[in-house]
């Protein structure tokens, strides 16, 4: 009788990598991000302008930096 050596966890993981599993993982991640975004909107409301004005901190140069946002200065070109 042939005895096969026990596979390590790394070898098992590499065998599981395929297109179907990658697509399933991507789909689950997208659903997770959609759910997280929905929970944020249910909890804090869809008005992000309120977030810009009420939650944040002053950076070192006394510039307002809202949490979770990056404000950009746009110029005419």
Residues 54-70 pLDDT 10s: 788 888 778 777 877 77
Provide mean pLDDT across the span 16-43. Answer: 92
Q: Per the structure, how many domains does the chain have? A: 1
pLDDT band at 5, cuts 50/70/90?
confident
The model carries a pTM of 0.52
Lowest mean pLDDT among 3-12, 45-54, 59-68: 45-54
In a domain, 3, yes or no: no
In a domain, 41, yes or no: yes
In a domain, 77, yes or no: no
Range of the domain at 42: 9-66
In a domain, 2, yes or no: no
For residue 52, what are its two tokens?
């810009």
Provide mean pLDDT across the span 41-57. Answer: 76
Distance CA 36, CA 14 (A): 30
Residue 75 has pLDDT above 70, yes or no: yes
* Cα–Cα distances in angstroms (integers) from residue 40 to residues 28, 35, 44, 45, in the given order: 18, 9, 6, 7
């Amino acid at each position: 009788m042939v005895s096969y050596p026990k596979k390590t966890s790394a070898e098992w993981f590499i065998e599981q990598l395929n297109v179907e599993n990658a697509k399933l993982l991507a789909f689950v991640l997208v659903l997770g991000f959609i759910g997280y975004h929905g929970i944020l909107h249910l909890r804090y409301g869809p008005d992000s302008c309120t977030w810009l004005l009420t939650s944040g901190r002053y950076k070192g140069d006394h510039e307002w930096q809202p949490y979770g946002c990056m404000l950009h200065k746009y110029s005419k070109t």
